[in-house]
Amino acid sequence: MEIVNANGSSIPALGFGTFRMPGPDTQRMVEHVLRNGYRHIDTAQIYGNEADVGDGILRSGIARADLFLTTKVWVENYSHNAFVASVDESLKKLKTDHVDLLLLHWPNDAVPLAEQIGALNEVAKAGKVRHIGVSNFNRTLMRDAARLSDLPLVNNQVEYHPYLDQSLVMETAASLGMSVTGYYAMADGKVLSEPVLKEIAGRHGKSIAQIVLRWIVQQGLITLSKTVSETRAAENAAIFDFALSQDEMAAIHALAQPKGRIVSPDGLAPVWDEAA
């Protein structure tokens, strides 16, 4: 497993995501993937499955120190007291005394950003969180958040797949010493019928999913794999035994579209950066 280092953090490049995963499947798959090589699990308060993630971790038998665990505070919990209480609740559900990375899930200007960042710093300084970061932040919000934070922000988790150019976010993250985690790598299944990706996959004897995940981690980023299939989970993890050529990387980058973004919920999404 490759590791991405940023602002003092060391994050496994491939994580197992649990978005929209029912409780029983979450528990089963978290236990399975940890027993079979994964060491990075991603969840969130709003997913409603933190307790199942915690159960899966315990059942796996993997030592807590050998696992990187990420969760996210939901926007309704951003005021100081609610924030701290929600983190305590997350830790109880996850059955751990700390998480490795805590993110603000989406921007929310109903609570001052300084208050949100202050709460992130507070729970980190209290030992409840090893590292802090953000999710779905644009470049301006990333810079503002970094400026307001005593502790370094280590990560911005954003939508990223071949149809969406995130170069501006990636450049800003690099300038701040932050890593980037890409979610929705399969573009809600759209990549699976992409001729360019089919050709590259055939050339390497790999699946399209493996090609896309490899494309992301080969850029020095972190990516999340989500599946309820044990077989598919093993396939998704087999992305570190080959490399894409520069031409193949460029061909995948060329698939980006001006309207490629899929996840942009009203009332949550910021004004997105538009790549040139």
Nearest to 11 by CA among 93, 74, 103: 103
> Would the annotation count 105 as a binding residue?
yes
Q: Which residues contact 190 (CB under 8 A, 6 or more apart)?
A: 161, 163
User: Which residues participate in catalysis according to the annotation?
Assistant: 47
Nearest to 68 by CA among 125, 16, 122: 16
Do 112 and 118 form a contact (C-beta atoms < 8 A)?
Answer: no
DSSP state for residue 55 in the 8-state scheme? H
Joined together, the tokens standing for residue 250 give 């460029």
Identify the three-state secondary structure at position 177: coil
Q: Do the strands 153-159 and 129-135 form a parallel or antiparallel pair, or are they unpaired? A: parallel
| Residues annotated in a binding site | 105
